[in-house]
Chains A and B, each alone.
Chain A
Amino acid sequence: MIGLLRAEMLKLRTVKAGWVLVAVAAVIAALVTVLFVVRTADLGASSAIPPLGTRSWARLMLGFSDIGEDFALVLGILCVTGEYRHGTITSTFLAVPKRGKVIGAKLLTSLGAGLVIGAVLAVVVMGAGIPLAVARQVPASSVLRQVPAVVPGAVVATGLYGLYGAGVGALVRNQVLAIASALAFSLVGEGIVSLLAPQVGRWLPDNAAAALTGSTPGASLGRLHLLVWWEGGLVMLAYGVLSAAVGVATTLRADVT
């Protein structure tokens, strides 16, 4: 299993798309953070955003560390469906005929990749946001004090999104279909369900992950009663593992022709 994990990590490292995803996520996180800090200073007290330097403002800014969640989701999907798309699944299953083992390694690798994306984005957000805030007379300590409450959760949530992505990929082998439906559900579908049926919505991946971060960036989410952080984490884990298990039992058992 250790060799298999090493192989999966090597696969990810030697695939261009992985690095592109991390880079794009980092650029977006940096832009959003800079814009957020600069604009709150400009907007003043009249806006919906909490005043610059307050506790909730600091948490909101640090919460951008979870912007990589959907990127981790895509990376997890690529990790499984890419093998089918490029035909490498044949040589993979020839080397390791026990297919459940292959998917197990992919779940763990995608979790790891998600954690890396989360950590990179946390560094980017803090690296861009804190100096800008300090330049606007916000004491660094007031922001740093909120880091333990937000950043570890955001990193873990991003990691679990990676694992969830691998599970989705195991369930839906078609790459385009898997990415399109997972992103549409994450970005649009979950919001609609949350609005119409909040009791169901809180169990959905995005809101389960939000429970982990403790930040509720979307305005509509304010009305949603989130799960406790560890409940959110377990729900995310369950999404990934269960979809992978169903995938192994159904689509992945099919003949490779």
Chain B
Amino acid sequence: MATIEVRGLTKRFGRVVAVEGLSFAVAPGRVTGFLGPNGAGKTTTLRIILGLVKPTAGTALVDGVPYRELPFPKRSVGAVLEATSFYPSRSARDHLRVLCAMAGLASGRADEVLAMVGLTDVARRRAGGFSLGMRQRLELAGALLGDPGVLVLDEPANGLDPQGIAWLRSFLRWYAGLGRAVLISSHLLSEAAQTVDDVVIVAGGRLVASAPVSELTGRFPVSVRIRSPEAQRLVGVLSAAGLRGHYESNDVVVAEGTTTEAVGPLLAANSVVVQEMAAVGGTLEDAFLALTGQYYQLANQPSGQYQPPGQYQPPGQYQPPGQYQPPGQYQPPGQYQPPGQLGSQPGRDGSVPPSGSGTGSVGGMP
């Protein structure tokens, strides 16, 4: 069972086609990145999923039903859409208490979520005076009120300082670790690469790829850049092993379509002196650029040639909903600390998986 399922979604605004034939699924227990260039249709898709925008065709289901038919929407889905939706003179706490009353939740939840996002100290201050980062965290608090099984965030890193981003990243990883589904949109690939397990890549309103990050990055060959004083002998060893390569300079050789794990032992066995070795490519960014580039190229050709990659089959390791922790027992991964104090690790309790687990298979950066 997928918690969000989008099938054949199309949305036209007048003559502009924002989304066309988009299908993908978001699995519980994982952070899914919804990636694409600006104007790719990400926000429109998220707003359709949340029942704010009506699709021209297709369906978007949350827990198997359209958002507008959810009996308790705030308990099913928490959403962070934009950082400006507060009544300026209303306090942060009152803003959340209003949401509690609308969602049929006890107003005590407001104080709980304020503590979770580290806004307790400013709870009674007017939200209009909040910084962009504080607004983002207040929005997140509002999304968490109903202790939802699905969290949807549109460009959550916008306006956050580096510490805030690190905090948010560990928070989202922790939340997904509870067995919840987390869907975040982003146009910042390097940021998303450190947070997400799965990616859904869109460009021009169409699906480009939908797969786990590791699978996607694995699809694109990695090169290995080697600096050696005996470059000529190095090329001979590589050729003998059936690897192709080229000179980048007199003492630098790039071996194509291989990994450091394969090249290292090969060079050791042949006693080649190596001064420097690094993997090139194989990041989510490379995959993204390759895929969206491919899309743009194909979009200019007669239609029908582009075959989107096969649908991603989620692994079967979900936690059943029964294992969710009830609200109030959360151990959030480290309260947000103001810049300057936050030199420590973002997630100090054990529930946060080590950072970068989504990109574990990726070699070092060039």
Chain A residues with a Cβ under 8 A of chain B:
3-4, 6-7, 10-11, 14-16, 82, 86-88, 90-98, 255-257
Contact = CB atoms under 8 A, between A and B. Distances in A.
A97 B87 contact: no
B86 interface: yes
Contact of A3 (B52, B53, B81, B101): B101
A90 B101 contact: no
Q: Which 7 A/B pairs are nearest by Cβ-Cβ distance?
A: A7-B101, A87-B85, A95-B102, A97-B68, A7-B102, A255-B53, A256-B52
Contacts of A88: 85-87
Given A6-B101, A86-B88, A88-B86, A95 B74 contact: yes
A88 to B, nearest CB: 5
Nearest to A85: B87
B98 A10 contact: yes
A38 B79 CA distance: 59
12 contacts: A7-B99, A10-B101, A11-B87, A16-B89, A86-B86, A87-B84, A92-B102, A94-B50, A97-B73, A255-B47, A255-B52, A257-B53
Chain B, interface residues (CB within 8 Å), range:
20 to 34
Interface of B: 44, 47, 50-54, 67-68, 70, 73-74, 77, 79, 81-82, 84-91, 94, 97-104, 142
Chain A contact surface mostly: helix
B148 to A, nearest CB: 11
Given A6-B101, A14-B90, A97-B67, A91 B52 contact: no
Contacts of A97: 51, 67-68, 70, 73
B102 A4 contact: yes
A13 to B, nearest CB: 9
B98 A14 contact: yes
Contacts of A257: 44, 47, 52-53
Contact of A94 (B79, B86, B89, B100): B79
Contacts of B82: 87, 90
B327 to A, nearest CB: 16
Nearest to B89: A16
A257 to B, nearest CB: 6
B102 A96 contact: yes
A4 B74 CA distance: 13
A86 B256 CA distance: 55
Contacts of B79: 94
A6 B82 CA distance: 25
A88 B89 CA distance: 13
Given A11-B87, A86-B86, A95-B103, 11 more contacts: A10-B97, A10-B101, A14-B91, A15-B87, A86-B85, A87-B85, A90-B82, A90-B85, A94-B73, A95-B73, A96-B102
A46 B197 CA distance: 88
Contacts of A15: 87, 89-90
Contacts of A3: 101-104
Nearest to B103: A95
Nearest to B145: A95
A16 B86 CA distance: 14
Contact of B99 (A82, A86, A91): A91
Contacts of A11: 87, 90, 98
Contacts of B44: 257
B47 A82 contact: no
Contacts of A95: 73-74, 99, 102-103
A14 B94 contact: yes
Contacts of B101: 3-4, 6-7, 10
A100 B79 CA distance: 21
A68 B252 CA distance: 84
Contact of A256 (B47, B70, B77, B104): B47
Contact of B87 (A14, A96, A256): A14
Contacts of B84: 87
B87 A86 contact: yes
B104 A94 contact: no
B52 A10 contact: no
Contact of A10 (B86, B94, B103): B94
